[in-house]
Amino acid sequence: MRRFLRSGPDPERERLKQELFQFSKTVEHGFPHQPSALGYSPSLRLLAIGTRSGAIKLYGAPGVEFMGLHRENNAVVQIHFLPGQCQLVTLLDDNSLHLWSLKVKVGVSELQEEESFTLRSPPGAAPSATQITVVLPHSSRELLYLGTESGDIFAVQLPALRTLEDRTISSDAVLQRLPEQARHRWVFEMVEALQEHPRDPNQILIGYSRGLVVAWDLQGSRVLCHFLSSQQLENVSWQRDGRLIVSCHSDGSYCQWPVSDDAQQLEPLPSHMPYGPFPCKAITKIFWLTTKKGLPFTIFQGGMPRASYGDRHCISVVHGSQQTAFDFTSRVIDFTVLTEVDPTAAFDDPYALVVLAEEELVVIDLKTAGWPPVQPPYLASLHCSAITCSHHVSNIPLKLWERVIAAGSQQSTHFSTMEWPIDGGTSLAPAPPQRDLLLTGHEDGTVRFWDASGICLRLLYKLSTVMVFLMDTDPNESLHAQGEDEWPPLRKVGSFDPYSDDPRLGIQKIFLCKYSGYLAVAGTAGQVLVLELNDEAAEHTVEQVEADLLQDQEGYRWKGHERLRARLGPVHFEPGFQPFVLVQCQPPAVVTSLALHSEWRLVAFGTSHGFGLFDHQQRRQVFVKCTLHPSDQLALEGPLSRVKSLKKSLRQSFRRMRRSTASTRKRRPAGVPGEVPEASSKAERIGLQNMELAPVQRKIEARSAEDSFTGFVRTLYFADTYLRDSSRHCPSLWAGTNGGTVYAFSLRVPPAERRMDEPVRAEQAKEIQLMHRAPVVGILVLDGHSVPLPEPLEVAHDLSKSPDMQGSHQLLVVSEEQFKVFTLPKVSAKLKLKLTALEGSRVRRVSAAHFGSCRAEDYGEHHLAVLTNLGDVQVVSLPLLKPQVRFSCIRREDVSGIASCVFTKYGQGFYLISPSEFERFSLSTKWLVEPRCLVESAETKNHSHPCSRAGPEKAVGRARNSGNQSDGEERTPGPMMEHALLNDERAMGIGIPGEWQWGTASAMEEQSEREGVCSTQHTLLRARPGALPPPGQAED
């Protein structure tokens, strides 16, 4: 019994844990998944986006972000800001209204749901009688007018959200007040439009779907004027001075109706069909905006010729003789036009068009000639091509940072120079302490460089590898290229382009050296490109080298896709990263691992067949090693063939079941339970009260060597360590496979003066076979002080201490099921932690990270950040392998999110919560990137007290949930805001075509059958509690 007891937690260590570790989800980067509604506040200059999962997100100036979540996971249908106030109203598809407020607490604004309301039908009436179609917030700030499918308009009092029966405008009341000649037709159906008079708040414009539009006097309850269209009404717009009404209709036409004081029935000007005379689609929304120069802007959605362009998603802008139909690659959800804010101004003077499409947000500059797009500082369309991998680089040197930005600026010349027009609120977040890059690989063969230093994920530079290969289509060709005289005058806008010319172009692995500027990129068809940063455009031939990983072994035949054909002659490359060598693996399987050592000028690559080492300075292959097992026939079929033997799969499953049954019989205890002496039992009970129970370890079942993909190379690692003897250290390359094998090669790299004359030599020095044969997912060498070895060139740039080469080094091998420390150079086992035996989970991601103390500036520790297949993130100490903390991070059934996770060097991480959004989280108390912002209305600014503008260091409230606490604060529980996803999990795959988006390694990860519960019951956004688990729970 004594072996099940262990000493209790150390109070001093528990205190230190609270200073080092804290879990918080801080910010969501990217574009909201499945948007469904758009709102804009001219006074606050804030943009709101609602989603089909019930989330609303507010955006202002860069760094000003808020998120709220309705208690019901219903789609947001409409969003309306209340005039001049820090409040907004949302309408859901369950016909419920919700009132939200931005409230200032301790100097920081919080988004909070105040009230909810559902318009109920009277007894006996059909449910559609109160189905809301239009919401009009009145300028009095006291009323909401709700148009319904029955034609009735209900008045709701603010902020109580209570129906005012005496102010209801019924369709019968309107019909009785129409002239006799207008009553003979049943013109009422649902209310399509409600507009308040721009100058007179006592008048509203009511548009019914069958074509009747009336101007209604709210005080006198009478019809001031009306007009009747012959076509079904879609929407109406009231000109700024109230003298002209513009209506748009289902046949693709719009009409202008001059308003006069003496005429009750309005006569239209000649109707206009912009893209007629052939049948056109409906114009669903229209703006008629005046300018000081005299010529108005007409901006409308739809109206395209039905036969030829009915599948296009277009918004047209007409200004005098200029007309452009902006063509979007995804469905347009809604749009708005930013105009002069002052209601007393004589002209609208529009300056920007804001379009919310299904996959991106596009802003068009209407002031600059040609109407160019404005580059967004946030809401980036991460999934413009499906993301296939990601790579994070921390603390970028300033010189490399500036060179990347300079290369990216030459790619952005088509953007407008206009400042971002949505600039409401004030960001109180401190400046980022360092420069970080997030690199994403995409299905179309591109790599995008993102500024991940702060709250806004901003695109800096885009690299395309397509130019290296011969494609059937020219990548410079536009899908919708037209001449200037073509009609309609279409112009493609936006960056979303989900189509890839060839799936083999997909990027699977990225490795960037921030000190030398070398970049290695590997793809789906076995291509490995080595690139270097060049500030000037160049034209040169990319050298090609073939690496035969099968080494001419007989009996193997590749059944997968063919290799990409590379261009033989010189290729023109733009400034930025330019490839100079292409290593083509044979067979052309997916590259599953990649490592780059820029100081030695070596790049290592691995596939499901083996791994190789390439000297990119001498442009020669150093060696290749085949890791293929005779049973690995699946490795020869390729990811695109989708061929798998059902018989073999069933046979392996039955073998596992038999092994499990046999091992269970062996572990059955002998003897009759309960025969423990009384004195011994009493002593043990006392001991159990004072001691903590150690978890019972389950036996890890050894995997068969015949399991498929055992030769699959999962990880590659360079290290300068003691490999052959303890007197000399040498460069080495380590490789871990899916079958639990670790290969170690000693390298002889010539000195710099003879580097081009002598070849790099490699010799296999060690081979380690883990007994349980679990896949190796991580390899790390610790120096004499048990600190991970620094990155290449890090010591040379005085950014890291030199590693301790006096003490003995240690090798850490992380498999899916356990962590194991070996001594070097003898490679004898020293410590191990059986993760699967303790918790039943498997390691999916592991990375060394430095955790700094939030109290002592100069204190920090190196640990392992670990992600499991259950979605838990853990911190494991080095080198003793003691579990420190564990937090639930990702839903266990979210396999794509777990596969996409990437850790940073300072205890943060990113993972995809949807095809278009990264969730950022932190395990460190010191390194937090989270929004802290303040939004005030004009009235609040005039009456605010000085104390309400406390700096960010005093802020307690958060624009997003976080775990940051000031030194003296008590860690109290609080609600946590989680991004909602649709209940239908199939929606997660909409933006990521194919099953191999995260490489072959991800495809092999088994899906958990346990059902997780994603519950969010709160809508208040506040600080994420930083309370750690109670003593003992952290080390489960």
pLDDT at 73: 87
CA atoms within 13 A on the CB side of 315: 26
Give the range among 188-197, 666-675, 754-763 with minimum mean pLDDT.
666-675
- pLDDT classification of 600: cutoffs 50, 70, 90: very high
43 has pLDDT over 90: yes
186 has pLDDT over 60: no
Instruction: Using the CB atoms, write b or e for 41-62: b if 16+ within 10 Å.
Output: bbbbbbbbbbbbbbbbbbbbbb
Pairwise CA distance, residues 919 & 55, whole Å:
15
pLDDT at 652: 59
Percent of the chain with pLDDT over 70: 79
781 has pLDDT over 50: yes
Label each residue of 161-176 as H, E or C: CEEEEEEEECHHHHHH
Phi-psi region of 601 (alpha: psi -120 to 50; beta: other; left: phi over 0): left
Average pLDDT over residues 663-669: 46
CA distances from 122 to 76, 130, 161, 175 (A): 25, 9, 17, 21
How far is C-alpha 178 from the geometric centre of its chain's CA atoms? Answer: 54
Where does 501-639 show beta strands of DSSP type E? Answer: 507-512, 518-523, 527-534, 538-540, 543-548, 571-573, 576-586, 593-597, 602-606, 610-615, 620-626
- pLDDT classification of 726: cutoffs 50, 70, 90: confident
- Cβ neighbours, 10 Å, residue 223: 21
652 phi, psi to nearest 5 deg: -65, -35
CB-based contacts of 66, cutoff 8 Å, min separation 6: 57, 58, 102, 109, 110, 111, 931, 933, 959, 960, 1021
CA distances from 474 to 313, 467, 471, 479 (A): 25, 9, 7, 10
631 has pLDDT over 80: no
What is the 8-class DSSP label of residue 960? S
- pLDDT classification of 273: cutoffs 50, 70, 90: very high
Which token pair is 983? 């209940």
User: Does the N-terminal peptide bond of residue 122 adopt cis geometry, omega within 30 degrees of 0?
Assistant: no
- Choice between 971 and 690, residue whose per-residue pLDDT is larger: 690
Percent of the chain with pLDDT over 90: 62
- Choice between 638 and 560, residue whose per-residue pLDDT is larger: 560
pLDDT at 172: 86
Q: Which helix (H) or strand (E) holds 144?
A: strand 143-148
pLDDT at 680: 44
pLDDT at 704: 58
Q: What is the pTM of this model?
A: 0.84
Question: Reduced to 3 states, what is the DSSP secondary structure of residue 270?
Answer: coil
- Choice between 91 and 837, residue whose per-residue pLDDT is larger: 91
Pairwise CA distance, residues 783 & 810, whole Å:
7
pLDDT at 590: 96
Name the amino acid, one letter, at 517. Answer: G
Which token pair is 970? 């008590």
Residues 850, 877: contact at Cβ < 8 Å?
no
- Cβ neighbours, 10 Å, residue 278: 11
- pLDDT classification of 462: cutoffs 50, 70, 90: very high
pLDDT tens digit sequence for 200-214: 999 999 999 988 899
763 phi, psi to nearest 5 deg: -145, 135
Which token pair is 958? 């958060």
Which token pair is 157? 């009092």
- Choice between 987 and 588, residue whose per-residue pLDDT is larger: 588
- pLDDT classification of 639: cutoffs 50, 70, 90: low
1021 has pLDDT over 50: no
pLDDT at 482: 52
Question: Reduced to 3 states, what is the DSSP secondary structure of residue 245?
Answer: strand
CA distances from 95 to 72, 73, 131, 134, 980 (A): 12, 13, 6, 11, 20
Pairwise CA distance, residues 971 & 19, whole Å:
12
1023 has pLDDT over 50: no
Give the range among 124-133, 443-452, 672-681, 964-973 with minimum mean pLDDT.
964-973
What is the 8-class DSSP label of residue 611? E
- CA angle at 105 for the pair 104 and 106, rounded to the nearest 5°: 120
Pairwise CA distance, residues 698 & 838, whole Å:
7
Residue carrying the six token digits 């590997």: 522
Instruction: Using the CB atoms, write b or e for 622-652: b if 16+ within 10 Å.
Output: bbbbbbbbebbbbbbbbbeeeeeeeeeeeeb
Give the range among 660-674, 753-767, 898-912 with minimum mean pLDDT.
660-674
- Choice between 148 and 952, residue whose per-residue pLDDT is larger: 148
What is the 8-class DSSP label of residue 199? S
Which token pair is 806? 């006096």
Which token pair is 462? 């885009």
CA atoms within 13 A on the CB side of 520: 24
- pLDDT classification of 229: cutoffs 50, 70, 90: confident
CA torsion, ordered 702, 706, 711, 714, to nearest 10 deg: -40
pLDDT tens digit sequence for 361-380: 999 999 999 999 999 999 99
pLDDT at 716: 97
Pairwise CA distance, residues 384 & 462, whole Å:
12
- Choice between 981 and 665, residue whose per-residue pLDDT is larger: 665
pLDDT at 5: 52
pLDDT at 668: 45
pLDDT at 53: 94
Average pLDDT over residues 861-889: 95
pLDDT at 80: 97
pLDDT at 555: 74
Where does 306-404 show beta strands of DSSP type E? Answer: 313-319, 322-328, 332-338, 352-357, 361-365, 373-374, 387-393
Residues 814, 778: contact at Cβ < 8 Å?
yes
Give the range among 14-23, 563-572, 683-692, 854-863 with minimum mean pLDDT.
683-692
pLDDT tens digit sequence for 241-259: 888 999 999 999 999 988 8
- Choice between 111 and 674, residue whose per-residue pLDDT is larger: 111
- pLDDT classification of 706: cutoffs 50, 70, 90: low
Pairwise CA distance, residues 158 & 147, whole Å:
16
Residues 615, 599: contact at Cβ < 8 Å?
no
- pLDDT classification of 807: cutoffs 50, 70, 90: confident
Which token pair is 359? 């996959």
- Choice between 557 and 656, residue whose per-residue pLDDT is larger: 557
- Nearest Cα neighbor of 602 from 711, 753, 726, 720 is 720
- pLDDT classification of 966: cutoffs 50, 70, 90: very low
Pairwise CA distance, residues 454 & 842, whole Å:
32
Residues 83, 141: contact at Cβ < 8 Å?
yes
pLDDT at 635: 58
- pLDDT classification of 669: cutoffs 50, 70, 90: very low
Helices (H) and strands (E) in the chain, counts: 10, 63
- Choice between 524 and 262, residue whose per-residue pLDDT is larger: 524
Output the average pLDDT for the chain.
83
pLDDT at 965: 36
